[in-house]
Chain A
Amino acid sequence: MIRLEHVSKVYKTSTRPALDDVSVELDKGEFVFLIGPSGSGKSTFLRLLLREEVPSKGRVYVSNFDVAKMARRRVPRLRQSIGCVFQDFRLLSNKTVAENVAFALEVIGKPRNTIRKVVPEVLQLVGLDGKADRMPHELSGGEQQRVAIARAFVNRPLVLLADEPTGNLDPDTSQDIMLLLERINRTGTTVLMATHDHSIVDSMRRRVVELHLGKVIRDDARGVYGVGR
């Protein structure tokens, strides 16, 4: 589903590569943690998958997209097959919960009756039925992240990228969010989650890819966050 082959990325403003000869493969339906300290290259990794950046060297594949080589006009297609969740939720504060989710479908031109049908479905899936008409500021952090997840998942992407999705949440709420991500993973969606959260990684016992200074230093099938960290 996701494959990086000898990928290096050097930013113009830096002498050290953000990613240095990284090769990783994620299968369809996998749940993978991407861990490592700040500056280890996690964000660059995710940005390459979204074609927010292009690699300096190597090749990136997502599903059957040759991400680094594809024409610019095809990038929207790639992004439609990837859902994204962030630490800061990135909701539109002037739209309701349902409108926030619907927005993701409106802007890719989905017909209105489809939107009317699938938005309540996905809100139910993330446990927000009954809150469709709330504004984001009326929700707790955990609920806001659920809206973000609903928005990321409403178009049924092949891959869900989560960049520190629990970074702003307390442990209990984080646990709920992880359960939700697991549920989404069980529908067959590949989930790649960049995180610093030891307890979550340790308790889930999923595949762990660890980056350090742009290199993959560990790839455990059922890993923990790491000793002494």
Chain B
Amino acid sequence: MTTKLFGTKVPRVEDQRFLRGQGRYVDDLLTDDPRLLHAAVLRSPHAHARIVDIDVSDVLDLDGVVAVWTWEDLTGPMAEPLPLLIPHPTLTHGRTQYALAREEVNYVGEAIAFVVAVDRYVAEDAVARIRVDYEYLEPVVGIDAARAAERTVHDDVPDNVGARMEQENGDARAAIAAAPHTLTLELDIERSACTPMEGRGTVARWDPDTSRLTVWSSTQTSTGVRGCVAAKLGLDLARVDVITPDVGGGFGVKVVHPWPEELLVPLAAKTLGRPVKYTEDRREHFISSAHERAQQHHVEVGFDDEGRVLGLNVEFWHDHGAYTPYGLIVPIITSTQLLGPYKPQNYRVVFESLYTNTVIVTPYRGAGRPQGCFVMERTMDAIAAYLGKDRTEVRSTNFIQPDEFPYEHGLIFQDGRELTYDSGDYPASLAKLKELVGWDEFEEFRAEMAAQGRRVGIGLACYVEGTGVGPYEGAHVHIETSGKVKVATGLTTQGQGHQTAFAQIVADTLGVRFEDVEVTTGDTRKMPYAVGTFASRAAVMSGSAIHLAALRAKEKALRIAAEALEASEEDLEIADGVVSVKGTDASIDLGTVAVLSNPLRYAFDEASKAATQFSVGDPGKPPVAEDDEPGLEGKDFYSPPRSTFANGMHAVIVETDPDTAEIRILKYAVVHDCGHLINPMIVEGQIHGGVAQGVGGALYERMAYDESGQLLNASFMDFLMPYVTEVPTSIDIDHLETPSPLNPLGIKGAGEAGVIPSAAVFAAAIEDAEGFPITAMPISPSELFELRLAHADDTTEATTRSTP
């Protein structure tokens, strides 16, 4: 009997390979090919400048240089701006860069010239020989400068405003005006970035004999890259294959496509007739990939004596950098997901998406939600402080209740669909969290610590996350005559453990051994219809599609087996790859069923003889029935009506050093609801990683731009990604499972969850420890020290907080 694998902690089969250094990443490919060429990119040293002249005359003299491209050398679609991937009606002034800068550069790091040489050393030597005359322009750096609009990034974008978008449910301003209590908050979040272990990278090979282009790219969407490469290079889609090998992390940055290099590498490979590789280095990743997070928020809230929000009016300013290739996804998510598990009676949100002369902004794990969660949770804490109520009580007062699902917010979400929550039980989650972190016992602990001269604080933050956005994913399940099952789904894998989780689904649905299932992802040759891996969608989308495809294969297997076993389908069961008639010894292997599914003229081995023309079939009928097809396969697609909404709540206890202002994490607790868990170990791994990344975002990481637009910390020496020594040694996790009604497995996404509440939860805990408001994140010990100085004369605030 096959044991049910869905819901169990099956060890990840990927890890053997990864931990033994046997992963195969883009940079590992074609290394033995003597014809392989290497690319390097000349990048702008200025944040804002006109290009007067580019002189490449010294480059081709250099031994080992094969070719150099500037914008002047590009033709056709390659000479046009890169695509604006997700247009939106309010994005009235969307702009994208060229693959190589044309006349103007708008951030330090923008690609200007592309050199191909025998190795990367020579290519970098050549880059250093290119002379560019610039006419320096004053840059716009930071949201304040963008809003002031004394200068503009693009001449034809007035006031640096790319988009202004407003949504409202009810009449928020009137509700606030009529509310018994009101508060106003200014809340800021700084820039950060995904910083995956592996940067971007692309390898391309053109085969002149078959006129086919093969592209390997470290991407979160191989079908997206394929479409762009074909369009830009003027190739038929059928002549382009895009394969995503192992990917060393994405976290959002690799869903952006096509990167200039993702087009230039295939162009060079096709032009030169030799394979070409580009591997981004770490400095390039900091200055020429993508950032996120920077937003300023102005909040007005009206509430009653219980802390019930009657009206919420949020205005915010989003720094989208120099261009808008990914549209307005991040600020739209902030504006909608800000609501979290709450139901403000009246809500208005308006944002401006602003140009600055800095690296582009596109989704980074959490994608606008960390900012929204920060805004809402800081508001909840401010209400509690104002009313002198327990912070969990104010939240409970505002929760959407379990019997109110599906809950309609009256807004449009990032996928263009209604913002409607499908499921959840927020009061139950909060009860679990309070228990897990010891919320009700905390004052005792605080007093105990204070007696030792130690200062501690506790914070919590709740979020709701729309996961599994459409439009669709598909899957193909093929049972081979060996009984082995080959599964293909088109979205990519960057470390999530898809081989394991998807194989669990197939093993259960089909009734085969887990070990017999092999999953291929991100290969357009195997599954050309796909979207990508982002927005916590892989398990929901491909997991569901794989389940549906496996059901189709199973249906066919049962039909053929019933015929072979002369039994009724209802009497059959499949376990461990064997179809048997319940309660009898009669059985047939799935592999044999696969043989029978494909009528043969030629036997290729002993087993296949059973399917040849003199062995099988009714001579009076066509070997393949009119409504059937050969082979034991199933193919299906899953396309949900809208996103499914996961949720979670985090709490943290921090200690702030009264002397040095250092911030230490004493306890971190997570209650998480992503519906049914396919593999709890993988979900917990996602949470661990998300919390670690969130600790970075809250306490360590920021993009330190100076006023001239130079990124001062473009290395891991000064961009302080936390080490293992900086993240909590243990994270207490509890799960609640409210299944989603929107998909056949009842699952919701889990990939981004861990990172969303970090800024909010740390701000709350530090505020609780220190007694003054924390309104900007991230926060360093130096900043905490400066805040202490600023609040040193201001003891009244702390007093009113504790005794309202």
Partners in one complex: no
Which residues of B does A touch, CB under 8 Å? none
